[in-house]
Structure formats: C-alpha cells, structure tokens
Amino acid sequence: MNRNTNKFSSETMITVFFSKLLKINWIIILCLILLGLVGVASLYSAAGSDWNPWARNHLIRLIFGFCLMFFIAFIPSHFFMKYSVLSFILGVFALILVKIIGSGSVQRWISFGSINFQPSEIMKLALILILAKYFDHISKIQLNKLIPYIIPILIIMIPGFLVISQPDLGTGLTIILLGLSILFFVGISMKFVIFSILISISSIPFIWQQLYEYQKNRILIFLNPEMDSLGSGYQIIQSKIAIGSGGLFGKGYLLGTQSRLNYLPEKHTDFIFTLISEELGFLGSISIILVFCLLITSIMKISFKVESLFSKVVVFGIGFLIFLYLSLNIGMVCGLLPVVGAPLPLVSYGGTSLLTVLIGVGIVLSINIHDKKV
Amino acid sequence: MKNKSQKKLDQTVSRRFLFLSLFKGSIIGTIGWKLFDLQLVENRKYEKLSDNNQFNYRIIVPERGRILDRKMRLLAGNMDGFSLVLNWNKYLNVHQIIKNISKIIVLNEKDINNFYNKIRFQKNNFSKQILITKNLSQKDVAKLAVRIIEFPEISFSMSKRRVYPQGIIAGHITGYTGPYSKNVENTSLHGIDVGRRGLEKFFDTQLRGEFGRKRNEVTSKGYVIDSQIYENTKPGSDIQVSLDMKLQAFAVERLQRGNYDLAFVDNENIKNQISKLKNFSYVSNNQVYINKKKKVVNPQSGSLIVMDINNGEILCSVSSPGFDPNIFTKDLEVDDWNYVKNNSRSPLLNRSMAGVYPPGSTIKMAVALAALESGIIDYKTRFFCNGSKELGTSKFHCWAKDGHGNLNLMEAIEQSCDVFFYELGLKVGIDKIALMMKKLGLGQYYDIQIHDRAKGVVPNIKWKLKRDGLNWSLGETLNASIGQGYILTTPLQLVTMVSRIANGKFAVNPSLTISSENKKFKVLNINNEHLNFIKKAMEKVVVGKKGTAKNYKIGSKNIEMAGKTGTVQVVRITELEREQGLIKNEDRPWEKRDHALFVGYAPTINPKYAISVVVEHGGSGSSVAAPIARDVFKHLFKL
C-alpha cells in the first residue's frame, strides 16, 4: 500500500494548506456555489421579491456550510474511517431519541434551542461511512460470497426502518436505496440482486398494510392525481401546471404566476424546482439538472480515481446520495414519483439537506486531497 | 502489489460503476424527457390551466336599452338595485357569516335557500362571487355599510333591475327578461338576464348591447389582487314601438268592463261571492265587476287591437287577462306564479296574436267580396231568407229565427243575414272564398315583432283532403260562409283584414315599430268599386235602420265608424234544443257562452284606424263588442 502520509517536519502549515488547496476539485466547488446561488435567487422570488424570510437565511447557511465543507476537506481522510462506527452509532441513537422526544406528531426533528436538526439526513452520511469501512475491511477476506452481506444489510435496515417509522417514507427509502446501491457497487452477486427484487415486489402487499393512511393516499394519488384534485393531488396538479406553463424560456424571473399567486404548495422547500421551471422554463430547469450532473460526474470521477476501497465507496456513496436527492425531488415535482417529501439539496430552503450535502462533498474533497495514487 | 482477489474486486467495482452510471444516466434522461414533455410538448395545455388559475374573467353587463311607446312613454326601463354578494372561497364559514348578517338586516328566506344551493354546487374551491340577495333596500345598504369592517367577505354591487312601469297593461307586448338559461352550466353568463318573451325577446340583441369583460387576477385563496377592464361594454339601444300607452290603458279598462258595472267590495254579499270564486281578479284593491244580475264576475277576457290602416302601426294591442311582467324580473313569488300558471283563463296567452277564434259574421265581407270579384252576383242579386236553409237532411239556421225575408247584399251585411251568405257560399264555392280570405290577410303569419303568434286556419278543399283525407262537403261551405266550422283567425288577422278593406289600395301588414319613411305594401288588387260597396255596407251596419250595431253610433258630425259584428257559437246547438227554445246566453256557463266580436274602422270618410274586438264568451257581438269599439274610437278621436 502506498499511502499519502503527512510530513509536517519540513513543510510549514501554510505550504501544506496551499498544496491542499491546489488539489481541491474546483469544478465541484463551482457547481455547489452555482446551485447555492440559484437557491438564494429562487427563494428571493418565492418570497415575492423579498430577502425575508428565506433568501437571507439560506445565504447565511450556505456561507456557514461552505466554511464547514472546506474545514472538512482539510481533515485527513483516514479520520472518517476511524470515526465511522461511532458516527453510525450516534446516528442510530439520535434516531431513537427522535422517536422519544421528537417534536410534533411527525417525529423527525430534534431541537437545540432554535435550531432544528433532522438526524435522518446525517444518518445517510454515517451509513455510507460505516458501509465503506466494513467493505474496505472485508474485501481483504472475500466479497463474492453472500455471508459477508448479512451484517451490512442489517446496518442498512436498522436506520432505514427507524426513519420509516417516524414516519418518513421518503427519507427511509432513500437510506435503504443508498445502502443497497453500495452493496451493489461493491459487487454483491447479480443472482442475489434479482432475488431481492423479486422478494421486495412480492412483499409489497405486506408493506402496503404497514403504511400509514396518508402514505397510502399519497401513493394512490400519485397514480391518479385527479382523484383528489383539491387535497393531496392538488399539489402535484398545480406543480405540473407551473412546470408546463413555463415553456421553453419561462415566464421570466420573479414573474411566475403560479408561485406569486400561491398556487404552488411548499414552493420554498420541496417544490422549489417547480418555481424555477415556471420562471426560467425548460432551458433553466435543464441547466440546473446539467449542473447537478456535472457535480455528480465530477464526484464519480474521483471515486473512479481513488485507490482504497473505503475511499471509492465513500465517494461513490456521496455521489449517489446527491443523485438520489436530485432524481427523487425532480421526479416528484414533475409527477414521475409520488410526493414523498424530498428536498432539492442546496436549492431548497432547509438546513439539514444542505449541510448533509456540503459535509458529504467536504469528505469527498478530503478524500480527493488525501487519498490518491501517487 | 495487488493480489488476485483484490484485482477481481477492482474489476467488479469498475463494472458495477459503469452499470450504475448507465442507470443514473437513464433516470436523469427520463426526468429530462418528462420536463421536455411538460414544458415543450404540452406547454399550451398547461399555459391555459395556469391562465385559468391566474385570471378569472367576469362579464360586465351593459345597461339594457329601454322600450318606449310612440309618445316616448316608458314601457320597459331599468331601476337601480343593490345586490349583496359573498366573495366565497372554501375557507369561509358561510353559516356564521349569514347568521351575522341576519342580525343586522332581514334576509329573505328564499334568498338564503337559493344562496345555500349555489354554495352546494360549487364544484371547485376557487373563489367566486355568490349572490346572497338581489333585493337590498337603501336602508339595508346603509346598515351594512357602517359595519362592513366586520364582513370583509361581502360586497355590494349595484345592479340594474328591469322594470315595466306600465305593469299589467302591456305585459304581452313588452314580454319580460329572465336568466340566460336555467340549465346552462356556463357560469360566466350566470345572472345575466335576456329577453324571454315579447318585444324583449324579439329585440334582445339590440336591447342587450355588447357585454364587456373584466379580468381579475386572483390568488389561490381567492383574493382579487388586480382587476382591469378587458373588453368594453356597449350599452343597449332604445326601441320605440308604435303603441300608444294612453289608448292601451283605456282599451284594457274598457274591454275588461264590457257591459258590467263597478261595485265596491263593501258588503258581505260581495265578499261572500268573491270567496267562492277561484282565480278571481279584482279591478282595483276594493272594486270588482258585477253583471246585470248583481253577481260578481271576473273582468271580460279577450282581445282588442287598434291599427293604423295606412302604415299598419299597431296603436294598442290588449289581451285580457293580462299579466304583470314585473313579477318575472323579481324573484318569482309562488302566488304570482300560481296566478299566471293555474288560471283557467291563461293570462300568459297573448290572445291578440296567438289566440285563435272562429271569426263568425265578421268574415262576411270576405265572402261578399269573393262573390263580387268572381262576378257571380251583383249589387242587386236578392235571396230570400225564411230563417233557415235546408241542405240534404240538414237544416242551417239564420240567427233570426223568423228570417229576414227578401234582401240584397247590402241589406244582408247590414243585418248579418246568415241564409243569404249560405246561398252566396254555395254559389261561389269554398276555394274562391278561401282565396279572398288569404288576400285579406287571414290564415298567415305576419312579419310582426312578437315571436308568439298563431297562423289560424283558412280551409279549402285541398286543406281538408290533406288533413283528414276526406272530401269537402257543401255543409262545410255553408259553415265557412258565416265564419264557423274549420275557419280560425287571430284578432290581429281580423284587424288586418279590416285595414286592407278600409285602405282599399294596399295589403297592409301590421307592425309594432314606427318607421319614419312610408312603408311599401303590396297592392291589394281588389276592384275598388266592390270595396267601396262593402265599405258602404259596413257603414250601414252602424248607421242603417236595421244595422246590427245601430245602437252604438259614435254620433259625431264628422266622425262615424263602420264595422261588422260577429257572434260566435262555441257549442253546437241541436235541433231538439232549438225546438225547446234556446237557453239565454247569460244563463249558460261562461265557457259555453258565445264569443262577441266586432271589427270596424273609423272615420267612414278617409278611414284612419281599424279595430278588432273579441270578447271571449261575452255574448252577442252587437251588444257587447260594438260598444267597446265605439268607446275606443271615441277616446281615440277625443270625442
């Protein structure tokens, strides 16, 4: 193994800092800044040309998040491997805590004073880290048998079901999908994959019975939005109207009628993409998707380049997480998926998903800096 | 150095990496395709839906044009009304609001029921203005206005209500307005009144003007944040009609009075009688009509038309019983509706134009003209009347039981001898009579400004064959010759017939509009000498010693009327009844009494106006209809 080790003795901190700075993938940073600013601009529009209540806060969170990201980027990557198990255990603990002391009828949040914190989001990162560590460790033994997959499946299912029982089906499924994609990535046998798909399809009726009424409704209404054009279907109908009426060039920045006249529900959080589509049209929405694609491919490229399996898995996992965020959110707003409550990271108002992505990208940058073929 | 398994793992990971990239690519591709589909392919559809969300168009109704009579008196106009509307959206507690409003003003129970019905039928939750009541008084407005801050959801709107100041006098002519259509779902036209009957219907487009549109920008909760005029309105234009409301008012009163007397409702006897009658109509609040036997009676039913014989303008057109069109522009009250709907005398029927009656003896001029024109008889031809005419086994009676003796055409018209006309009819034949009737305007529609009209019947051989598949019988010719049997005419046709005879040159057509230029009518094409002879005979009816209307001369030096009476049997009288002696008209039930008719014109020199009077089941034309005509002419010529 040829690991990049830090030799502080002959170099000053400053040169180390600058050498690390040079290794940072600036395309990723550029994409993040771009998306963040799109978010600020959209929230400014969503509030009816007002910095309050969202745009200003979002900008502050972005600045804080970027600082955090850079800080993490300079932490040596083996640090994450070291604390992955701890972070996972803390995460599970937080999820259990949320069940006990969580606020509201839907227990998703832990409040520290005025800051609300959603442990399920951070859990995604912890899951990636612990799975990466596990497979990095197990790869030295063997990965083509089925037995070593039992523990990771447990690792995935514990937080997965904890989150689903909050109840937050969207995030829960995201966690499970994320975990399974990592299993698939490290080479779980194709037969097993097909077998599990069959199992999960046949278990749909059982899962259906376990779902809450509102979750069942969401799925039914997704299948036929007109069924309830005033209730839950209203959201998706209005969202499609907004996107569709945008056309090629959109109605113009700040001029979206659907958003201005409050026909869009949750226009500042999960449905922010709708507002962008309405005001900036097809060109605008495709551009945003392309920026996301550039971000994801840049991260995937790093995953392809890095040497250790841990790094590969972590970077892949974070890239895939961003992909999941993107496809769930846009799939939801344009009617391809049921309304599950998935934010568009960096653009949607809401600190947790923003932090999750920025911390995640921080880890990616750190790996990019510290874990490379010499 | 990597070991074997490490290498294999690397390979697998690379393969899986590629596989997952493809997977992600396809997902992103699907999303891109969906956006393409929504934003470019189906853009139009969603743009429209978005517009529907954003804007809400309201029709602005222009002020409806007025209807004026020939002296610019108002027949139909508009009155300011205040409506109370609720700016409804689904978040409102409607019941609470209504309850609060009811504490301040009195709301009509019917209005409230209607209002709740409208709420119930709101299909979507998008905001709408829903009418609470149309009949808000100035006082109510003031009361609510000072507390309007407590009711942000309600607003007032000034609306125009159609009013007919002439009320019951000309209801059949003006007609009335009503909601666009009760079944139409199109809510943009909701609450817009259009002409439903009479002149209101015929001139609807002119009266209505052009709708404008207002475009409101509304939020999802229904608050209007911007409003602008989208299309301008064009007010409706006024219509002037040929009626003279003063004459009309007089005619209504005179026709309904007939030969009755006025009585005050002041004694128990009269009150008692009234309580036993169904659908009884008062003359005024405390007056009723009584007949010669002091019995309380309904006002006479029937029709009275006065027409200018030169240009066809109708000066008055009465149909009794009438109805008040104002009851339709308010919210129809049950009592009012029952009166017009269940009244056995059908007030809604415009008898002048849509009512058909056998013309009786008033047709005799047409039969005489047919005979003269065909050259079958001349002025000297005489027939003998002994009271009846036998044809085969049937016996056709003259109204004079003992007959008129030997008389010529002039005398036959003057005395209205039936037997003379039986003989005439037999000689001329039904087809020629029918042709003359058509020429004089019977059995046809006119181009008049009222949709609601009847054609009547002018029978001939072909008509009977076509209708019944039977041959025409001579007996039917006899009946037709005295205006009974199949023949049916409207009062409007009768007055037109007289107008054409009096005019002599042109086939005048009736019209309810005034035109400044001279109207062009077809040439009548009847020998003028013959016409003058008939006119002379019609004068004799009034001034002649034996004239059937000799008791009802105008009696002025310059102006006298000419005319013809008619008494129409509505039930067949059998031979047996005839032998036992006829029951007097007044003693029969109302429905079985004869119709009383009179047609005429005045003055006799240089005729100006023609008249037709029909008194349904009024008795004899000479004693009931003729005096009415005389009095109307007297009024018309200010004598």
B551 interface with A at CB cutoff 8 Å: no
Nearest neighbour of A241 by CB, restricted to B16, B21, B53: B53
Mutate to test the interface with B, among A189, A245, A332 (most CBs of B within 10 A): A245
Q: Which residues of B touch A281 (CB under 8 A)?
A: 39
Q: Write the CA distances from B1 to A313, A372, B7, B569, B594, integer angstroms.
A: 21, 16, 10, 130, 130
pLDDT for position B183: 53
The chain B residue lying nearest A264, using CA atoms, is: B220
Which residue spans within chain A are E strands per DSSP? Answer: 110-112, 115-117
Q: Which residues of A touch B36 (CB under 8 A)?
A: 282
Average pLDDT over residues A328-339: 87
- Closest by CA to B166, choosing from B38, B71, B292, B56, is B71
CA B368 to chain CA centroid, Å, is 34
Contact B38 A334 (CB under 8 A): yes
B26 interface with A at CB cutoff 8 Å: no
pLDDT for position B52: 83
pLDDT digits over B557-598, tens only? Answer: 889 999 999 999 888 777 777 777 777 777 788 888 899 999
For chain A, the average pLDDT equals 84
pLDDT for position A374: 34
pLDDT digits over B152-165, tens only? Answer: 778 887 777 888 99
pLDDT for position B362: 93
Q: Which long-range contacts (CB under 8 A, 24 or more apart) does A91-95 make?
A: A91/A119, A91/A122, A91/A123, A91/A126, A91/A127, A91/A159, A92/A123, A92/A158, A92/A159, A92/A162, A94/A119, A94/A122, A94/A123, A95/A119, A95/A120, A95/A123, A95/A159, A95/A162, A95/A163, A95/A166
pLDDT digits over B74-84, tens only? Answer: 999 988 878 88
User: Does the pLDDT at position A233 exceed 80?
Assistant: no
Instruction: Indicate yes or no: pTM above 0.80.
Output: no
Contact B53 A316 (CB under 8 A): no
Find residues 244-303 of chain A whose CB sits inside 8 Å of chain B: 244-248, 257-258, 261-263, 277, 281-282, 285-286, 289, 293, 296, 300, 303
Q: Which residues of B touch A335 (CB under 8 A)?
A: 34, 38
Kindly provide the ipTM of the predicted complex, given to two decimals.
Answer: 0.88
Average pLDDT over residues A63-80: 91
CATH numbers and ranges of domains, chain B: 56-240 (3.90.1310.10), 261-297 (no CATH), 302-636 (3.40.710.10)
Residues A43/A44/A49/A50 CA torsion (nearest 10 deg): 100
pLDDT band at A38 (very low <50, low <70, confident <90, very high): very high
> Which segments in chain B show pLDDT lower than 70?
1-3, 5, 90, 122-128, 181-191, 222, 331-332
- Closest by CA to A215, choosing from A157, A171, A169, is A169
pLDDT band at A115 (very low <50, low <70, confident <90, very high): low
Nearest neighbour of B39 by CB, restricted to A244, A293, A336: A244
Q: Checking DSSP bridges between strand B388-391 and strand B394-397, what pairing results, if any?
A: antiparallel
Peptide bond into B510 cis (omega under 30): no
pLDDT for position B596: 93
pLDDT band at A1 (very low <50, low <70, confident <90, very high): very low
Q: Which residue ranges make up each domain of chain A? A: 13-370
| B528 phi and psi angles, rounded to 5 deg | -65, -35
